[in-house]
Homo-oligomer: A and B are copies of this chain.
Amino acid sequence: MKDQSLSQVVKALDEFQIETPSWGYADTGTRFGKFLQDAAAIDIEDKLADAGQVNHFTGICPNVAVHVLWDFKKGQNAKEVAKIARRYGVKIGAINPNLFQDQEYKYGSFGNPDPKVRQQALKHVYDCIELGKELDSELVSLWFADGSNYPGQSNIRERKAYFEQCLKKAHQKLSKKQILLVEYKPFEPAFYHTDIADWGMSYLFSKKAGPQARVLVDTGHHYVAQNIEQIVAWLLDENMLGGFHFNDRRYADDDLTMGSVDPYQAFRVFHEIQYFAFEKGRAPKIAYMIDQSHNDKAKIEAMLQTVTTAQELYAKAALVDHKQLSVYQRRGQQVDAEELLRRAFFTDVAPYIKTWRKKNGLPVDPLQAYRQSGYEARVAKERKARRIELGISGGSSYA
């Protein structure tokens, strides 16, 4: 590897961090049920402890996203949670309101025709913004399940207007340093229309909400065949890219571990970001977050697999010779331009990452080190017992 390439890889490794989600440590499943794991986290402390493990072995995951209804029980003290996080060597990251679980949201939250439900949703978002302030977290991350299941069921434009109003109001509550992330998704759980279905809708809503709103790209929330890296390039160019929820998929929003289905696509996303940074002479401020919820892999192992994959693909993307690429692109040398990307993607960066880990006092193989630690067996035993004690019995029936 040329010296310049090497220094780019090291720089990439030094700067790359990725946030893990609290819900990635808990039991999740499909509508057909959950396959339960003894070692899965039960409460917020378990989740923070597990996230602490991932950060301990990789050194790149100091922040943990939280999902308010799932993680904060009524009356739970925010400062207390922050303290627990610190104990496990992590910090609370993005605050995710939950606007879909309560029965009131059957016909939507911000888009609900009933003003009382919109008010309830808004109140919850306000609370989450306050929670963010208390926890010194900069990101409030909004995903809406809002939509409809049947043609004619909803007045699409009226719902759009409600969304604009509520987002504007939420934006007014932000502190100077808080960012409002607006996520899009084409379908599920709504199967006819989803109020924020694509990046264009997220973009328009963010623009209308105010200057601190940005688009959140969940890589699994696209139509099949859609070019995600182009969307990323556009949002960067418009200064509207707020962050990512990374995961992989073949079909729908499968929420598989990152890069497990199409690693080259994840690489291309990172490439567009680094190419932008090269041209502008500055790295854009983007929140890299994981949002995966596979049904079967052991939770912490899956997270380690994902974050090390992210790190590896980010490092590979750093190998692209941007200056040369620019020349090839302008001259129409498409084979050469493409080969620059391909060669970077196929370069084995494992040795460089190992060196970087050693330098930073980290285990060279995080997954193996974690396995050898015996953590999983330990918590499995304790949590299994606790579940019995608490009377938690597992997955409910579909019908």
List residues of chain A with CB under 8 Å of any chain B CB.
23, 26-33, 35-36, 67, 69-70, 100-101, 103, 106-107, 113-114, 145, 148-158, 160-161, 186-189, 191-193, 197-201, 203-204, 223-227, 229-230, 233-234, 236-238, 249-252, 254, 256-257, 260-265, 268, 271-272, 275-276, 279, 293-298, 301-302, 305, 312, 320, 325-326, 329-332, 334-335, 337-342, 345-348, 350, 367, 394-399
Contacts and interface: CB of A to CB of B under 8 A. Distances in A.
Nearest to A335: B301
A23 B312 CA distance: 39
A250 B153 contact: no
Contacts of A339: 305
A312 B151 CA distance: 19
Contacts of A107: 296, 332
Contacts of A186: 225-226, 251
Nearest to A202: B200
A30 B101 CA distance: 11
A211 B232 CA distance: 27
A330 B113 contact: yes
Contacts of A296: 106-107, 149, 334
Per assembly, the copies of the chain total 4
A252 B187 CA distance: 9
B155 A326 contact: yes
Nearest 9 interchain pairs by C-beta: A200-B200, A223-B223, A23-B399, A152-B341, A191-B254, A30-B189, A156-B233, A35-B106, A348-B348
Given A191-B251, A298-B335, A312-B346, 11 more contacts: A27-B399, A28-B31, A113-B332, A150-B338, A153-B329, A153-B334, A155-B329, A156-B229, A160-B237, A192-B261, A197-B227
A218 B283 CA distance: 37
A302 B335 contact: yes
Given A106-B296, A272-B156, A249 B191 contact: yes
Contacts of A198: 198, 200
A124 to B, nearest CB: 15
B295 A157 contact: no
A156 to B, nearest CB: 4
A9 to B, nearest CB: 15
B156 A30 contact: no
Contacts of A279: 157
Contacts of A160: 233-234, 237
22 contacts: A23-B399, A28-B399, A67-B399, A70-B399, A150-B338, A151-B260, A151-B341, A152-B329, A158-B329, A160-B234, A186-B251, A187-B254, A189-B295, A191-B251, A198-B198, A199-B200, A200-B200, A200-B201, A224-B225, A262-B265, A297-B334, A396-B396
Nearest to A158: B329
A156 B224 contact: no
Nearest to A70: B399
A326 B264 CA distance: 26
Contacts of A302: 335
Contacts of A152: 271, 320, 325, 329, 334, 337-338, 340-342
A344 to B, nearest CB: 9
B264 A263 contact: yes
A31 B32 CA distance: 8
A149, A154, A341 — which one has the most chain B CB atoms within 10 A of its CB? A149
A40 B223 CA distance: 34
Given A262-B262, A276-B157, A296-B106, A334 B251 contact: no
A180 B242 CA distance: 32
A256 B103 CA distance: 20
